Chains A and B, each alone.
Chain A
Amino acid sequence: MDSMTIIAVASIVIAGITTGFGTMGPALAEGRAVATALSSLAQQPDASATITRTLFVGLAMIESTAIYCFVVSMILIFANPFWNHVIVQAVKK
């Protein structure tokens, strides 16, 4: 295998693994956060505005870790810097 093939294979495989594993943790965390928020909503319906706002902000914080993984895998697939570097090297020859 030449270096281009190795880079392509590594990028595609790692992109899949990144999104797959990177969304597992945030999914579990968001599930727990929503479950806790629902039970506190059931206990204190009067505080629903505060609970919902805090829940949304917290969910955004949790979700951003998954979004980071997604951005990394998108960069690996669509805007891979190593791939571009190799192509520039090949054009120069």
Chain B
Amino acid sequence: MHLSPDQIIYWQYGFFKLNATIVFTWVLMLVLAGGSRLITRKLSVGLERSRWQNLLEIVVTGIAKQIEEAGLSQPQKYIGFLGTLFLFIATASLCNVFPVYQPPTASLSTTAALALCVFVAVPLFGIVDQGVGNYLKSYMQPTFFMLPFNIISELSRTLALAIRLFGNMMSGAMIVGILLTITPFIFPIVMTLLGQLTGMVQAYIFSILATVYIAAGTRVRKPKPEPVKD
């Protein structure tokens, strides 16, 4: 029983190990990037479109709409980052139907890397949007004494993002593995289906949380309304 795909090692040369996490991450990256490249090679703007172009347009406009509804009014600026997060995690869990596949998101290294990307992206987008001074000032909202708590929340939510995704993905693989030893015929398939649903929900949640964090970091502070004199 493997706790994570890090422990499945295909090839080793001294210090360098080629484990299942790295292999399947690169396979997914190649499939996603190569597939998009193949589809966008000949795009049409007329009414005659290929099926694949329609599919990609549905995906991209759907993600952009979700980002906009979550509070970022210009989704085109952020869809490169947030859309990639969603698509990677969603494909990582959907590909679970293939036999030898191990989801790379069931390894703590992958989820920690994704969470660190969010951890870096939030201040980056915030600084680009409202400048260094204004962004740093947002840590002192509402009062100066909240500064340590704001920093702690920044760190703890990164940890929570990583552990949440890891726990959900790992538990799916683990439950199927345990059930295979108890009831080996039909029931693991049902649990795999449930795992697909959980994977999609987790992909949605990871990207929507990243969106909400970025939206909180980029929100331009409105000037305080003047007190009404009477």
> Contacting B212 at CB < 8 Å: which of A57, A63, A64?
A57
Residues of A near any B CB (own CB < 8 A): 49-50, 53, 56-57, 60, 63-64, 67-68, 70-71, 74-75, 78-79
- A56-B204, A79-B3 known; A71 vs B209 contact (CB < 8 Å): no
Chain B neighbourhood of A68, CB < 8 A: 163, 167
CB-CB nearest in chain B for A64: B164
Structural contact, A67 and B3, CB atoms closer than 8 A: no
Chain A neighbourhood of B202, CB < 8 A: 60
Interface size on B, residues (CB 8 A): 20
What mask results when residues 91 to 115 of chain B are scored 1 for a CB within 8 Å of chain A, else 0? 0000000000000000000000000
Min distance, Cβ A50 to any Cβ of chain B, angstroms: 8
Contacts A57-B209, A67-B164, A70-B171 aside, 4 further interface pairs with beta carbons under 8 A come to A63-B164, A68-B167, A71-B167, A74-B174
CB-CB nearest in chain A for B174: A74
Asked if B170 CB lies within 8 Å of chain A CBs, one says: yes
What mask results when residues 162 to 195 of chain B are scored 1 for a CB within 8 Å of chain A, else 0? 0110111011001000000000000000000000
